[in-house]
Amino acid sequence: MTTRFLAATFTAAATAALLATSHAAFAQASGKIKVGLMLPATGTFAALGTAIENGFRLHVAERGGKLGGREIEFVRVDDESDPAKATDNVNKLVKRDNVDVLVGTVHSGVAMAMARVAKETGTLLIVPNAGADAVTGPMCAANIFRSSFSNWQPGYAMGDVVAKKGHKKVVTITWKYAAGDESVKGFKEAFEKAGGTVVKELSLPFPNVEFQALLTEIAATKPDAVYTFFAGGGAVKFVKDYAAAGLKKNILLYGAGFLTDGTLEAQGADAEGLLTTLHYADSLGTPRDSAFRLAYAKSYKLQPDVYAVQGYDAAQMLAVGLEAVKGDISKKAEFAAALQKAKIDSPRGAFSLSKSNNPVQDIYLRQVSGKENKVVGIAAKALTDPGRGCRL
Ligand code: PHB
């Protein structure tokens, strides 16, 4: 009697436990995937955040709202491109909203805070812009991926281009923060290896746009050329101020392609002819890119830019990972292994990920012509960020 009672109790408990387990597994693989979008909705990078979100949503919509069989739900935070608020913002998404995956952001300083929390908590993170070298360098992790670039990549590619043009003395100018510093560092590495000299490194705090005193200093220094990293609203003003100061005619201006991406409407004739390096351009003309551009323009009544592509590819990367684990996002090792093996069918051209999860990609040399960044060549083929300091 007692034995039978115990057996019956055991069976009931075991059944309940089994039911609970399978219920959890079912919920895990069938409920919605919560994507925490942490992007700037205000400030100098606001338009960049919008383009990234548009691109991400476009790819999700193309798949009927589901990735790996699971519906996608968004939770959004405006990070204001403010590193001082970044840890609180990302903790809200991870701890309060319990997101399954983080997608963000534009600003390198904010992205480093996201990477820190992602690493500590094991939350998946896909970075759809910020180039902070550390994210796929010393801070790299198996759960941290980038769909964009490292700050080193466009800078390094441009260093070679400017040296090959025969320029010997260059002044650099940028915002004083990780992205500006690292873009200049990449430029300098290639430029000086090829025999050039960076004679002066000018900077101002992010996101200031009081360029006048620095432009006067450039005029007085008389370098052969200038290399710059600015983006968003700041890039619009820099290009206009450079021309207004009368420098454009005398000292060639080169930049990481953010200088003229998503900004040409506002820069007008002041941007005409500028040469920049980037992993995207407006005139690729491949069937893949043309289809993407058409779909984007139809959905948003806007022309896409590099930020839209990076957002779109972040969704493609999430799709690859989720498909490999059949929607069970708790299988992080399999998710990561699938991305390590994947070729992402990007509008920029297909890319794979380096060991530290940064895109291995061609860097185009582009020239502004009218309202487009036209390809004039490939500055660096299949450029791989060295991933310095990454141990994976
Ligand atoms: C960055 O902070 O890493 C950053 C911001 C804007 C860009 C590119 C890089 O366009």
Computed on alpha carbons and rounded to an integer, the radius of gyration of the chain in Å comes to 23
The parts of the chain modelled with pLDDT lower than 50 are: 1-27
Taken in order of first residue, the domains within the chain and their CATH numbers are 31-149+284-357 (3.40.50.2300), 152-278 (3.40.50.2300)
pLDDT at 10: 43
- What pLDDT, in 10s, does the model give residues 33-82? 999 999 999 999 999 999 999 999 999 999 999 999 999 999 999 999 99
Q: Which residues contact 114 (CB under 8 A, 6 or more apart)?
A: 38, 86, 90, 102, 104, 105, 125, 127
Cross-strand bridge partners of residue 383: 361
pLDDT digits (tens, 9 = 90+) for 121-169: 999 999 999 999 999 999 999 999 999 999 999 999 999 999 999 999 9
State if residue 279 touches ligand 1 by the CB under 6 angstroms criterion. Answer: no
* Atom number in ligand 1 closest to CA 232: 10
Could you tell me which residues come within 8 angstroms of residue 322 by beta carbon, excluding any fewer than 6 positions away? 33, 67, 68, 69, 70, 329, 335
Are residues 294 and 379 in contact, defined by beta-carbon separation less than 8 angstroms?
A: no
Ligand 1 center to 360 CA (angstroms): 18
The reported pLDDT for the residue numbered 25 is 47
* Cβ-contact 133, 182 below 8 angstroms: yes
**20 Cα to the center of ligand 1, angstroms:** 46
Quote the pLDDT of residue 6: 44
Q: What is the pTM of this model?
A: 0.93
Any atom of ligand 1 within 6 Å of the Cβ of 228: no
Q: Which atom of ligand 1 is nearest to the CA of 307?
A: 10
**What pLDDT was estimated at residue 150?**
98
Question: In whole angstroms, how far apart are CA 269 and each of 57, 201, 264, 289?
Answer: 32, 27, 9, 26
Q: 163: closest CA among 202, 190, 184, 182?
A: 190
Rounded distance from Cα 267 to ligand 1 centre (Å): 18
